[in-house]
């Protein structure tokens, strides 16, 4: 069994979001970078659990990013995974990223490709579906549970107002969210071994991005809060009704 886990780098969840160069670039100064939480907590940890159950499993990590993504990928290797591949390109377009990962997947012959639900910076939830289409594979999006018996997959995916239990056969692509696994902290042994695990750098294949970022905007600050005395909560309902006209 060979699993490919897609790992992306995102600003820490507490990072201040600001822009420079006339609002065309994210202000990276002083920003801490982390593994996208969905990729780390759910996709990667579930892959590691599958390997713990079936030690014959091989886990490769892939990231599309420049050299500054390497600390992130080493951290992911410290959690688990056998080797990593970095496609040396900065990618802001989902189709460009998906095309690079699909190319790696074609060469590696993986049985299973895991992505996170979405990146917490671009929030597109698009890369997984695109990889699946490029490889003509089935796609289980927003999985909250995933089990494997031989090559038969049983998974639970979120649908509007509930969930669906589905069955499929390998190979396929899965996007992972909460429920798949629990967050783990890397241990010393993992951190030590991550230093010597292979991290292959490959050049991107030529693909034209379908979209480009023209600029950013931060939302205007709130106008100010209206406080309502605790001894008259009904006043809040009156304001919501008469002033805000929402109820």
Partner 1 sequence: MSVLIFIDHSDGAVKKASLEAISYGAKIAEQLGLTAEGALLGNLNEDIASLGKYGVKKIYHVADVALDHPDPQVFTEVIAQIAEKSGAKLIVFSNNLHGKAIAPRVSARLKAGLVAGAVALPDTSNGFIVKKNVFSGKAFAFISINTDIKIISLNPNAYPVAVTEGAAAEVVPFTAAVGEPRIKVTAVNKVTGEIPLGEAEIVVSGGRGLKGPENWNILEDLAAALGAATACSRPVADADWRPHHEHVGQTGLAIAPNLYIAIGISGAIQHLAGVNRSKVIAVINKDPEAPFFKAADYGIVGDAFEIVPKLTEAVKALKG
Ligand X SMILES: Nc1ncnc2c1ncn2[C@@H]1O[C@H](COP(=O)(O)O)[C@@H](O)[C@H]1O
Ligand Y SMILES: Cc1cc2nc3c(=O)[nH]c(=O)nc-3n(C[C@H](O)[C@H](O)[C@H](O)COP(=O)(O)OP(=O)(O)OC[C@H]3O[C@@H](n4cnc5c(N)ncnc54)[C@H](O)[C@@H]3O)c2cc1C
Indicate whether 13 belongs to the interface with ligand Y (CB under 6 A): yes
* Interface size with ligand Y, residues (CB under 6 A): 2
Separation CA 11–CA 139 (nearest Å): 27
CA distance to 15, 182, 191, 192, 200, per residue, from 185 (Å)? 21, 10, 10, 14, 24
Sign of CA dihedral 186, 189, 190, 195: positive
Interaction with partner 1 in 120-149: which residues (CB under 8 A)?
120-130, 132-134, 138-142, 144
Using the minimum distance from each CB to ligand X, give the nearer residue, 51 or 60. 60
Q: Per the structure block, which two tokens stand in for 159?
A: 């649908």
Q: Which of residues 17-36 bind ligand X (CB under 6 A)?
A: 36
Minimum distance, C-beta of residue 41 to ligand Y, in the bound complex (Å): 9
Is 42 strand, coil or helix? Answer: helix
Q: What angle do CA 56, 61, 63 make, to 5 degrees?
A: 170
- Contact (CB, 8 A) for 115 and 37: no
Report the residue number whose CB is nearest to ligand X. 116
By CB under 6 A, tell whether 37 contacts ligand Y: yes
Among 11, 80, 116, 171, binds ligand X (CB under 6 A): 116
Nearer to ligand X, 13 or 232 (CB): 13
List the single partner that 57 binds among partner 1, ligand X, ligand Y, none, CB under 5 to 8 Å by kind.
Answer: none
Are the CB atoms for 75 and 214 separated by under 8 Å? Answer: no
Residues of this chain that interact with ligand X (CB under 6 A) are 6-8, 36, 38-39, 43, 62-65, 91, 94, 97, 115-116, 118-119, 122-128
């Amino acid at each position: 069994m060979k699993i490919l886990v897609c790992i992306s780098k995102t600003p820490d969840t507490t990072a201040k979001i600001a822009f420079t160069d006339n609002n065309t670039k994210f202000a990276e100064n002083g920003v801490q970078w982390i593994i996208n939480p969905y990729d780390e907590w759910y996709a990667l940890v579930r892959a590691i659990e599958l390997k713990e159950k079936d030690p014959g499993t091989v886990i490769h990590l892939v990231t599309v990013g420049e050299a500054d993504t390497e600390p992130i990928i080493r951290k992911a290797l410290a959690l688990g995974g056998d080797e990593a591949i970095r496609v040396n390109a900065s990618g802001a377009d989902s189709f460009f990223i998906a095309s690079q990962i699909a190319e790696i997947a074609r060469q590696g012959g993986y049985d299973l490709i895991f992505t996170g639900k979405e990146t917490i910076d671009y929030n597109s939830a698009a890369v997984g579906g695109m990889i699946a289409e490029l490889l003509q594979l089935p796609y289980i999006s927003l999985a909250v549970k995933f089990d494997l018996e031989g090559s038969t997959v049983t998974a639970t995916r979120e649908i509007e107002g509930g969930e669906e239990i589905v069955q499929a056969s390998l190979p396929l692509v899965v996007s992972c969210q909460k429920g798949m696994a629990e967050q783990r902290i890397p241990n010393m042994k993992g951190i030590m071994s991550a230093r010597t695990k292979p991290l292959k750098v490959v050049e991107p294949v030529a693909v034209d991005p379908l979209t480009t970022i023209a600029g950013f905007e931060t939302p205007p600050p709130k106008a100010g809060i209206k406080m309502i005395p605790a001894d008259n909560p009904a006043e809040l309902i009156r304001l919501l009704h008469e002033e805000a006209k929402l109820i």
